[in-house]
A and B are shown apart, each in its own frame.
Chain A
């Protein structure tokens, strides 16, 4: 009989299936290979995997498509891990932002290479080599120049404007891609269908805000929400219906159903039987039109003569 299948622990892989932008593998210019690095995720404050392109010129985020019961056939081999990894370009400012905010609390202008430092993630200083990093710092910080040195100080106002632009650009992308943003029934098996009623601007705004919030801290996300002029959603607890109130009437209260029958002696409550794994597998077999086991034991009906 089929035994219960045990899941073996995932063994280390030495290969992955990755979809990456062409620019990732373009190592001609800098003569170094792209590398996976662990950096602080601005949204969760924990470690996440990123990729730095050749010469640390471009930052990429790493996301994995992961669903149960998937495996790969690659050439003549089988790979148990059915993940599909995406390496997509990312704005390094998102990762620099938390460090600037932290040092901004002191209110001083500082050189960025002293700000973007992390004992836990020493690789974070490499973020500053990205072509876009230093050139776009003015989006989130005030700048001061003294001689050949540049000093920066975090600016909430600039950051909010920058994030707002990000939200607006995201909305354009969402519309172009025809992505359904309306609230619907949340189900893992339903595919959201884009309907006519879906085109509310606020839905797009909220959806884009939610997407951008994946790349910033919770505090920043809340600040951005009010900057966009969106009220915070009420928690589901408040929208719960009030508990039922008893109807008032002068008539004597009477039970609608007679529950006493359950108390009588001949009413035996049968506990639901728990099936063994073997019984369960059997129960799954299609048994339509089959003879019951008992029919093989009952006395034989005499076969009709010719």
Chain B
């Protein structure tokens, strides 16, 4: 939601575009939000973040850097984990494991459990993710070490506008995740239960 809000201020490929119309759509990110410009190359940003975090550490800033990547992008992760651990860089790695890299399911990417990690969170639970990142932020800075969060979720939409995921993706599976695990629906239930939201505000 924040992403689309920002989009209204720096729309793609027009005169307001702060990357001057040079990249494909959705590759914008304004500098004032401390968000490095996105690139199509997969997982290259993970090692950038280790270097950026090392800089913050040397400047003695009370801050860390967060990097996001999908399960398919974790192929360069072992190298970057080594760098961040050896150099004691306070970086938070967030892997959105949505089960698919375009048409490649997770079972075709990793041996079962061999890459298992102990920091698995429910990616469709906003509160779980919030508390995990809050704790990770504190740990990373005070202990000067990398933290990994693997957020389990499911890609209900197509990979991109160029993809028809029903060709390799069970439709029933998509429906199930959409109906029973949707993060927006779950969060709405929680805020409604606290009396902070209602149907009238929703409309």
Q: Do A and B come from one complex?
A: no
